[in-house]
Chain A
Amino acid sequence: MHITNIIIAGLGGQGVITASDMLADAAFRAGFDVKKSELHGMSQRGGSVTSDVRFGDKILSPMVPFGEADVLLVLEETQVELNRPCLRNGGVLLTPDCIAPGVLKNKKSLNVAMLGCLSVVLDIPKAHWLDAVHAHLAEKLHRLNDEAFAVGRHATTS
Chain B
Amino acid sequence: MTVHSLEPRQLMSGDDAVALACIHAGVCLGTGYPGTPSTEILETFNQLGGKAQWAPNEKVALEVGLGVAFAGARAIVTMKHVGLNVAADPLFTAAYTDIDGGLVIVSADDPGMASSQNEQDNRYYARAAGVPMLEPTDAQQAYDYTLLAFWVAERWKIPVLLRLTTRVCHAKTVVKPRPSSAIAPVSASFRRDIPARVMIPAYAKPAHRRLRDKLAAIAAWNDAEGPVEDSGGSANCGIIATGVAAMHAREAAPTVRHLTVGMTYPLPLQRIREFASEVKQLVVVEEGEPLLYEALRAAGLPVIGKPDRYRFGELDVARVRRLLAQNNSPEPVPAKGKPPELCPGCAHRTVFQALHDLDCIVAGDIGCYTLGVLPPFSAMDTCVCMGASVGVGLGLRHALPKSQARRVVSVIGDSTFVHSGLTGLAEMAYNPPPTGHLLLILDNGTTAMTGQQEHPGTGRTLNHAATHRLDFFKVCQALGIHNVQLFSANDREVDLKTIIADQLTRSETAVFIIQQPCVLAAPKIRLYEQAAVNETVAKESCSATESCAIAASSQLFQLFNE
**B-binding residues in A (CB < 8 A):** 11-12, 21, 24-25, 28, 33-48, 50, 59-63, 65-67, 78-79, 81-83, 85, 135-136
Contact = CB atoms under 8 A, between A and B. Distances in A.
B317 A65 contact: yes
Task: Name A's interface SS.
Answer: mixed
A40 B172 contact: no
B478 to A, nearest CB: 34
Given A35-B173, A40-B170, A42-B115, A61 B248 contact: yes
A139 to B, nearest CB: 14
Given A60-B250, A61-B317, A62-B171, A21 B337 contact: no
Given A24-B11, A33-B174, A136-B1, A45 B368 contact: yes
Contacts of B370: 42
A61 B316 contact: yes
B343 interface: yes
Contacts, number: 113
A46 B167 contact: no
A93 B247 CA distance: 27
B113 to A, nearest CB: 9
Contacts of B115: 39-43
Given A28-B174, A39-B115, A42-B115, 8 more contacts: A11-B338, A47-B340, A60-B250, A61-B316, A62-B247, A65-B317, A79-B337, A85-B332
A139 B251 CA distance: 39
A45 B172 contact: no
A47 B172 contact: no
A43 B173 CA distance: 22
Contacts of B307: none
A111 B115 CA distance: 25
Find the residue from A39, A61, A63, A66 having the highest chain B CB count within 10 A.
A61
Given A39-B166, A43-B115, A82 B341 contact: no
A78 B560 CA distance: 35
Contact of A61 (B166, B244, B340): B244
Contact of B11 (A28, A66, A81): A28
Interface in B333-384: 334-335, 337-343, 368, 370-371
A29 B173 CA distance: 13
A60 B37 CA distance: 21
Contact of B317 (A48, A63, A82): A63
A66 B313 CA distance: 15
A66 to B, nearest CB: 5
B114 A42 contact: yes
Interface of B: 1, 11, 36-37, 114-115, 138, 166-167, 170-174, 244, 247-248, 250-251, 316-318, 332, 334-335, 337-343, 368, 370-371, 449-451
10 contacts: A25-B11, A28-B11, A28-B174, A41-B37, A42-B371, A42-B449, A62-B138, A62-B173, A63-B248, A82-B335
B108 to A, nearest CB: 11
A29 to B, nearest CB: 9
A40 B171 CA distance: 11
Contact of B338 (A21, A46, A62, A67): A46
Contact of B171 (A35, A45, A48): A35
A145 to B, nearest CB: 15
B114 A43 contact: yes
Contact of B316 (A42, A47, A66): A66
B166 A45 contact: no
Given A37-B167, A60-B247, A45 B340 contact: yes
Contacts of A45: 340-343, 368, 371
Contacts of B174: 28, 33-34
A151 B339 CA distance: 32
Nearest to B346: A45
Given A35-B173, A62-B244, A78 B251 contact: no
A39 to B, nearest CB: 4
A87 to B, nearest CB: 13
A33 B244 CA distance: 17
B318 A65 contact: yes
B242 to A, nearest CB: 14
B36 A40 contact: yes
B449 A82 contact: no
Contacts of A78: 338
